[in-house]
């Protein structure tokens, strides 16, 4: 096989997607059932939308990465930030005077070759427009505003419209990465054809008080937000555009999303080593297939080229299938993902940390690893990857102990007063049983297996778990609205310093309701502490707090399981989904 794995120093974890290969099987080999310059790729779930500011879905962002390049991108080979749309990494300067003293400036220059589909050059104004869209308080882009909140001004070089400087009012441990990678540039002529945002100063949107006043006074902010969130700019091929190598040409709901490589794309004119501008397949066909049996059948029947995150049982079975072994390569790469359960601490039944800790003791993680993952994984202790230098080794995985769970519940006032097997307690004058709804993604055997094991193990601790399978997009929407009790979750871990603000700060998503003034202050200090040793102390302390408060229940750090057709050469990476679709290079 031609796949080039990354060095073994990059260790561990789970892949949250799945992709396979399209070929027709004979007794000993496959025969491609589609043009050789196409790549047919499986994904676990349909994207919720294809708008970079309105989605946090891994599946959406995988596809958007082919359409909308960033200034910087993470190399799948080195796991370091490298230039993509920008000519180079940022020029940085510590600010010692002026209105942003104590902050840092970051200067970027966009590649001279970069143009939009209408032929107009990509300029700094397109970065400014993307920031306007992100900071518009009527646009539901809170997860991104959290990351971008340290930006205070942008100055465009009067002599070069492709060169600009971003000014921040404080240092950030990932300042360059956030500015360069959080949001792609967007063309105002396409996403704001009526100029609704044109006369609104970005500086006013970046000022929370002014932005709040504008939101009440200026109807254009809401009008733009409504347009930006409309189906045209989220699902319809003619409304989704970028300056990347691919354009969306078809989205058949539940069936496939087709990306076509652009003719005469500007990236082909860039000379030198620009790995993240390479785009080999003429067509990328993403196929949402949640059911593993359907996915395996599609692989065997020649309907898929890449299948990441193959369920463990099917992964082992495929490895033992001779004709599949001949046509595909099997990989178990390290993977930067962890799985967990979101806990809504705003719900009365879950507001006591002893109850949340009891649920953690009522989850048999070892059984999940051995049964659902065929042993391909390790217990998780939280959102920091075990290979990172600031991983808190003193925070141990919580063992399965239903008696300990019952004891904690009793301390919190939960006992089985009617001997029906479920503990109960009087809340707001009403006898309430500890019966909790667990939302998970429908149509996935692995998710279903984990849900059933959770239900059974929790029952032994007197906790009733009601299973509620839902479509991935429904789960995501309910999370954003905080309309849940327990939700099965998984997150990619970025190969950059841990950023807890989005998940655990009151200015971020804070889906669990965990945030407090004390932890907000700690997270703010983490974000601005450039000294790695000082930051590590706070990282370690925050992990201890999360383990004590349990706003998320850590589950598993699974091992990646990736199958790629032998005719394709590509770097295998720990990052989701385990490879970069544009870099699937066809053999000559």
Q: Which pLDDT band holds residue 3 (cuts at 50, 70, 90)?
A: very low
Distance CA 561, CA 318 (A): 11
Let me know whether 303 and 402 are in one domain: no
- Decide if 225 is inside a domain: no
Parent domain of 383: 337-558
Question: What is the overall mean pLDDT for the chain?
Answer: 91
Distance CA 155, CA 376 (A): 50
User: In the sheet that 562-565 helps form, which strands lie side by side, from edge to edge?
Assistant: 246-252, 256-261, 283-288, 38-43, 306-308, 562-565, 328-331
Q: Classify residue 98 as left (phi > 0), alpha (psi -120 to 50) or beta.
A: left
Residue 374: the pLDDT is 87
Average pLDDT over residues 575-579: 90
pLDDT at 17 over 70: no
Please provide the size of the chain in residues: 588
pLDDT at 19 over 80: no
Let me know whether 91 and 141 are in one domain: yes
Q: Which pLDDT band holds residue 20 (cuts at 50, 70, 90)?
A: very low
The residue among 179, 212, 245 that closes a domain is 212
Contact 267, 274 (CB under 8 A): yes
Contact 104, 151 (CB under 8 A): no
- Decide if 184 is inside a domain: yes
Residue 560: the pLDDT is 87
Percent of the chain with pLDDT over 70: 94
Average pLDDT over residues 510-538: 94
Mean pLDDT lowest among 60-74, 179-193, 525-539: 525-539
Helices and strands in the chain, H and E counts: 19, 28
- Decide if 411 is inside a domain: yes
Let me know whether 461 and 475 are in one domain: yes
Give phi and psi for 16, each to the nearest 5. -100, 15
Nearest one of 137, 134, 125, 128 to 218, comparing CA atoms:
137
Domain of residue 169, CATH code = 3.90.76.10
- Decide if 64 is inside a domain: yes
Whole-angstrom distance between the N-terminal and C-terminal Cα of the chain? 14
Distance CA 30, CA 119 (A): 42
Q: pLDDT digits over 78-135, tens only?
A: 888 999 999 999 999 999 999 999 999 999 999 999 999 999 999 999 999 999 999 9
Distance CA 559, CA 339 (A): 11
- Decide if 193 is inside a domain: yes
Map residue 25 onto helix, strand or coil: strand
How many domains does one find in the chain?
Answer: 3
- For residue 98, how many other CB atoms are within 10 A of its CB? 10
Let me know whether 348 and 486 are in one domain: yes
Contact 539, 384 (CB under 8 A): yes
Distance CA 205, CA 131 (A): 9
Nearest one of 6, 5, 26 to 300, comparing CA atoms:
26
Contact 587, 284 (CB under 8 A): no
Average pLDDT over residues 408-427: 96
Q: Which pLDDT band holds residue 21 (cuts at 50, 70, 90)?
A: very low
Q: pLDDT digits over 454-467, tens only?
A: 999 999 999 999 99
Let me know whether 183 and 269 are in one domain: no
Let me know whether 386 and 497 are in one domain: yes
Taking the CA atoms of the chain, what radius of gyration do you get in angstroms? Answer: 24
Let me know whether 323 and 341 are in one domain: no
Cα 519 from chain centre: 23
Let me know whether 346 and 426 are in one domain: yes
Let me know whether 412 and 439 are in one domain: yes
The residue among 143, 178, 212 that closes a domain is 212
Domain of residue 10, CATH code = 3.40.190.10
pLDDT at 158 over 90: yes
- Decide if 303 is inside a domain: yes
Let me know whether 141 and 44 are in one domain: no
Distance CA 173, CA 326 (A): 46
Let me know whether 168 and 240 are in one domain: no
- Decide if 42 is inside a domain: yes
The residue among 178, 212, 246 that closes a domain is 212
Pairing relationship of beta strands 151-156 and 163-168 according to DSSP bridges? antiparallel
- Decide if 452 is inside a domain: yes
Q: pLDDT digits over 196-249, tens only?
A: 999 999 999 999 899 999 999 999 999 999 999 999 999 999 999 999 999 999
Which stretches of 266-388 are DSSP H helices? 292-300, 312-319, 322-327, 353-361, 365-367
Domain of residue 382, CATH code = 3.10.105.10
Let me know whether 569 and 431 are in one domain: no
Residue 34: the pLDDT is 75
Where in 381-534 does DSSP place strands (E)? 424-427, 430-433, 435-441, 464-470, 486-492
């Amino acid at each position: 096989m031609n796949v080039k794995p990354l060095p073994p120093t990059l260790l561990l974890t789970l892949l949250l997607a799945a992709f396979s290969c399209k070929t027709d099987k004979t007794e000993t080999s496959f025969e491609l059932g589609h043009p050789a310059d196409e790549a047919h790729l499986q994904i676990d779930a349909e994207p919720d939308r294809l708008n970079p500011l309105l989605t946090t879905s891994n599946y959406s962002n995988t596809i958007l990465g082919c359409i909308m390049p960033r200034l910087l991108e993470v190399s799948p080979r080195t796991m370091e930030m490298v230039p993509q749309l920008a000519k180079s990494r940022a020029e940085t300067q510590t600010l010692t005077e002026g209105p942003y003293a104590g902050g840092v400036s970051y200067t970027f220059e966009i590649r001279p070759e970069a143009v939009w589909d209408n032929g107009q050059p990509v300029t700094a104004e397109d970065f400014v427009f993307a920031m306007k869209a992100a900071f518009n308080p009527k646009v539901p882009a809170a997860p991104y505003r959290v990351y971008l909140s340290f930006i205070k001004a942008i100055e465009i070089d009067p002599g070069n419209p492709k060169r600009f400087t971003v000014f921040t009012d404080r240092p950030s441990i990932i300042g360059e990465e956030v500015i360069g990678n959080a949001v792609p540039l967007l063309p105002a002529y396409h996403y704001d054809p009526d100029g609704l945002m044109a006369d609104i100063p970005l500086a006013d949107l970046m000022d929370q008080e002014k932005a709040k006043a504008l939101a009440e006074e200026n109807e254009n902010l809401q009008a733009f937000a409504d347009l930006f969130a409309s189906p045209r700019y989220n699902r319809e091929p003619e409304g989704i555009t970028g300056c990347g190598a691919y354009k969306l040409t078809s989205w058949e709901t539940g069936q496939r999303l087709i990306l076509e490589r652009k003719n005469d794309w500007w990236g082909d004119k860039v000379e030198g080593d620009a790995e993240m501008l390479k785009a080999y397949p003429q067509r990328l066909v993403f196929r949402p297939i949640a059911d593993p049996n359907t996915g395996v059948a599609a692989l065997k029947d020649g309907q898929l080229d890449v299948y990441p995150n193959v369920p463990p049982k099917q992964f082992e079975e495929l490895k033992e299938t001779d004709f599949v072994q001949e046509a595909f390569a099997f990989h178990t790469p390290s993977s930067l993902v962890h799985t967990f359960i979101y806990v809504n601490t705003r719900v009365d039944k879950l507001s006591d940390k002893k109850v949340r800790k009891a649920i953690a003791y009522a989850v048999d993680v070892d059984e999940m690893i051995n049964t659902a993952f065929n042993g391909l994984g390790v217990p998780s202790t939280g959102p920091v990857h075990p290979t990172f230098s600031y991983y808190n080794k003193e925070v141990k995985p919580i063992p399965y102990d239903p008696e300990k769970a019952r004891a904690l519940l009793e301390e919190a006032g939960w006992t089985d007063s009617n001997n029906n097997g479920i503990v109960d307690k009087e809340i707001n004058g009403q006898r309430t049983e500890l019966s909790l709804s667990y939302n998970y993604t429908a149509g996935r055997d692995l998710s279903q297996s984990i849900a059933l094991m959770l239900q059974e193990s929790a029952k032994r601790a007197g906790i009733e778990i009601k299973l509620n399978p839902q479509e991935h997009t429904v789960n995501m929407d309910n999370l954003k609205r905080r309309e849940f009790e327990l939700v099965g979750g998984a997150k990619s871990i970025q190969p950059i310093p841990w950023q807890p603000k989005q998940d655990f700060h009151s200015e971020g998503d804070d889906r669990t309701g965990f945030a407090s003034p004390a932890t907000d202050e700690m997270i703010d200090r983490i974000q601005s502490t450039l000294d790695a040793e000082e930051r590590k102390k706070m990282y370690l302390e925050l992990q201890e707090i999360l383990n004590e408060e349990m706003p998320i229940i850590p589950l598993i750090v699974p091992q990646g399981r990736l199958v790629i057709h032998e005719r394709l050469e590509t770097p295998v990476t720990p990052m989701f989904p385990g490879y970069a679709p544009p870099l699937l290079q066809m053999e000559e």
